[in-house]
Structure formats: C-alpha cells, structure tokens
Amino acid sequence: MILKTPSERRALLERSKSVAMVGASANPLRPSYTVFSYLRTQTPFDVSPINPTISEIDGVKAYSSLAEYAKERGAPDVVDVFRKPTELVDVVREAIAAGAKAIWLQYGVINDDAIRMADEAGLAVVVDRCMKVEFARFHGGLTTSGLNSGLITSRLARPQTP
C-alpha cells in the first residue's frame, strides 16, 4: 500500500520500532548521516546502518546487506533508503526477502518499477519523503513545510536602542 496521506505516514511511524537505513553514511556532511544520527538520537527507533563499505557509524554496527541484518536481528519494520533510483529494484527485492514491513524512499529516490514491486509485495511504501522531517513534523519539531525557524512571528525584531 502506498502511503499518501500524513495520517498514513504517522501511523507507520507510530507502529514501527526498527529501521534499517540502506545507504547510511559515516560522513557527517551527507544527508544520510544527518538522518541516521537524528533518528538514532531523537526518536524511539532502533536504527541500523546498511552499507557494505563501513563497519560502524558512531559506534552502531553497520551491516553489509539487509540479508545480513535480518539474519542477526530479524525483519526490520522499515527500510529507509538513501540510494540512486537505478538501484531501487534490487533494494526492494532485498527488503522483501528480509521480511521488511515497509520501505521508505527518501527525497528524489523514485523508481516506478521498484515502487510497484514493493506495493504488490504488500509493503507499506512511502515515496519522496524524509523520515526525519516527517517524524519531527508529527512530534512538534517542524511545520508542514519542514522548517523550524524558531520565530514566533514573521516580523523582524525592532533594533534595540541603548
């Protein structure tokens, strides 16, 4: 089922406990690191990186594949994907084989064949959304636009006179 509404995405986040992040990076300048770090430290999710080129991120063991993850930890509730759209069909195949319940495709990670495959396999599918942004939005950290400026008003503060 393709989750299109905010309430469907929120329900997925509320029922999920484990997240396997395919393409997580140990490089703090990469969005996949930022999302990994946020989900690991600011949410109740048990987040594991899936990346064959690293052994760990911030002390959290990295798995070389979803199969390795599932063998050791069981099926993930959500597979959060930071990969090129051309690699998605293979990632979806791995997610299905690992017994994942949902696949979350980050901003710009769109492949119609992979989406259809995941949907037909019965996975909950989130397309072109950021898990970090959605979690924060549903828990008071962001507005619907995904921004949190900290401002209460749109007007600039008047300069203070000494």
Confidence of residue 153 (pLDDT cuts 50, 70, 90): very low
What was the pLDDT predicted at 111? 96
Residue at 12 is within a domain: yes
Average pLDDT, the chain: 89
- Answer yes or no: is pLDDT of 157 > 70: no
Percent of the chain with pLDDT over 90: 83
Residue at 143 is within a domain: no
Residue 28: Cβ-neighbour burial (10 angstroms; 0-12, 13-18, 19+): exposed
Residue at 82 is within a domain: yes
Q: For residue 79, what is the enclosing H or E element?
A: strand 78-81
- Least Cα distance to 110 among 136, 94, 87, 90 occurs for 87
pLDDT digits (tens, 9 = 90+) for 65-122: 999 999 999 999 999 999 999 999 999 999 999 999 999 999 999 999 999 999 999 9
Residue at 49 is within a domain: yes
> How many domains are there within the chain?
1
Yes or no: say if 73 and 62 are a contact pair by the CB < 8 Å rule: no
Residue at 153 is within a domain: no
Choice between 152 and 139, residue whose per-residue pLDDT is larger: 139
Residue at 159 is within a domain: no
Confidence of residue 152 (pLDDT cuts 50, 70, 90): very low
Looking up residue 36, the CATH number of its domain turns out to be 3.40.50.720
Residue 112 domain boundaries? 6-138
Residue at 161 is within a domain: no
Residue at 150 is within a domain: no
Q: What is the pTM of this model?
A: 0.84
